[in-house]
Amino acid sequence: MTEIADIYLRKILDSRGNPTIEAEITTVSGGFGRACAPSGASTGIYEAHVRDCDEAIADAKIKLLPHLLELDAADQFGFDEVLHEVDGTENLSGIGANVAVALSLANAKAAASAQNLELFQYLGGNGLYQVHNTPLPLGNVIGGGAHAVDATDIQEFLVIPTGAGNSAEAVFTNALVHKRIKEILVARGKGCGKGDEGAWAPHISDLEAFEIVKEATDKVADETGIEVRMGLDVASSEMWNAEKQRYVYKTGERTTEEQIAYLAELADQYDLLYIEDPIQEEDFEGFAAFTKAVENRDTLVCGDDLFVTNAARLAIGIEKEAGNCVLIKPNQIGTLTDTFETIQLAHEAGYETVMSHRSGETTDNTIAHLATAFGCCLLKSGVVGGERIAKLNELIRIEEHF
């Protein structure tokens, strides 16, 4: 039934106009899975290695796919183990993390399809987690950093509709905040261009962005009665200057201690529920110090570039008490098994997990299923744009099963 009969790889277009890899797997019984690799712009230095699409596909056809044919798609651990064996490196630079993640996810989808199950049911129902709810959407409404030119220093100003009763209401609440922000920007005579993830990318200071998002979330709360909290992805590795040992903002520079104090004060002032990468990716101690600085609050202190979805890096973080939340991007680590192991380790240690898109995306909606199946508290996937709403609309569909 779930034996793999056919595998196909192709190069397709991503949301930034770059090539990316799509994999298709068919089982002997006709089960079919298709998945695409996303790509980052503010990538962590410890992420798995992405290869040139044409070269990676040509190599895979000869060296990798013959080893995968006839495997049992329902044995995900076995499938992912073969990916690692053929790859033979620590960071997937042999076969390419883009080839690996597309194949690994397509395999799970083929196995689910062969058993007439949705992916979230296949992974969530049979596994450790008996799933019965969907995550809240974490949406990017104003952005700069590596995702837009001449915009904010902080990469992402995010919103979380904590007062929403269900996923559908939550998704539309974030969209309403996004709309209200445009109106505020127009009223202030600011530009309304968008960054790579569909967030507004005006030429404004970080402090003005805080004011605007606050005004918009207050307006939406008045209109709908739904509480919306704020969050940030500081993406601070992009600002870190190792020579100066400072975080370099357009408005000035901050030492690690100053960065911690600055962000902790913002957390209080704007009641931040979520802060990602406040401290750069090599500084576990600084990350731990920041986590301690906000420990009196309910703030999720999330590691993206710090952990890169890597269980070994997360284990260091747990030991040092760096953060209390892990960003999960399957393409950072390359296989579903590795992704699952990191999530499992996080939950065992009492860390929350947030499933995430990348800034370069396709209409692939797999992460909505993974977030649900693995019990992530949030799904980070933007607010508008075809490749972002692909995930959000899938969340609405998944929720109808509960």
* CB nearer ligand PGA, residue 358 or residue 391: 358
**Count of chain residues binding Zn ion (CB under 5 A):** 3
Instruction: State the Cα–Cα distance between residues 249 and 240, nearest whole angstrom.
Output: 9
Whether residue 329 lies in the annotated active site:
yes
Indicate if 219 belongs to the active site.
no
| CA separation, residue 315 to residues 115, 201, 321, 349 (Å) | 35, 36, 10, 9
If the CB atoms of residues 235 and 260 are measured against ligand PGA, the closer one turns out to be 235
Question: How is residue 115 written in tokens?
Answer: 């058993």
Q: Using CB distances below 5 to 8 A depending on partner kind, what does residue 40 bind out of Zn ion, ligand PGA, none?
A: ligand PGA
Q: Does position 304 bind Zn ion by CB under 5 A?
A: yes
Q: Of 24, 47, 197, 394, which one is the catalytic site residue?
A: 197
How near is the Cβ of 238 to ligand PGA at its closest, in Å? 9
Return the number of the residue (220 or 367) whose C-beta is nearest ligand PGA: 367
Around Cβ 101, how many Cβ atoms within 10 Å? 31
Site string for Zn ion, 79-118 (x = CB under 5 A): ----------------------------------------
* Shortest spacing between CB 68 and Zn ion, in angstroms: 31
- CA 98 to CA 271: how far, in whole Å? 37
Binding residues vs ligand PGA (CB under 6 A):
40-43, 146, 233, 235, 304, 356, 358-359
Neighbours of 179 (CB within 10 A): 15
Local structure of 24: helix, strand or coil: strand
How far apart, in whole angstroms, are the C-alpha atoms of residue 136 and residue 209?
23
Least distance in Å: CB of 305 to Zn ion?
Answer: 6
Residues in 309-338 at the binding interface with Zn ion, rule: CB under 5 A? none
- Residue 192 structure tokens: 């309304």
3-state secondary structure of 184: helix
**Catalytic residue selected from 194, 329, 380, 391:** 329
| Distance in Å, CB of 277 to ligand PGA, minimum | 7
324 is in the binding site of which of ligand PGA, Zn ion, none (Cβ under 5 to 8 A by kind)? none
* Contact partner, 23, from Zn ion, ligand PGA, none, Cβ < 5-8 Å per class: none
CB of 171 to Zn ion, least distance (A): 21
If residue 300 lies in a helix (H) or strand (E), which one and from where to where?
strand 300-303
In angstroms, the Cα distances linking 313 to 100, 249, 268, 329, 361 are 20, 27, 29, 14, 25
With 0-12 / 13-18 / 19 or more C-beta atoms within 10 angstroms meaning exposed / middle / buried, residue 343 is buried
CB atoms within 10 A of CB 188: 12
Is residue 197 near Zn ion by the rule CB under 5 A? no
CB nearer ligand PGA, residue 112 or residue 308: 308
Annotate each residue in 237-276 with x if it binds Zn ion (CB under 5 A) or - if it does not, as one string: ---------------------------------------x
Burial of 335 (0-12, 13-18, 19+ CB in 10 A): buried
Among 24, 233, 361, 394, binds Zn ion (CB under 5 A): 233
The residues annotated with a catalytic role in the active site are 197, 329
Residues engaged in binding Zn ion (CB under 5 A): 233, 276, 304
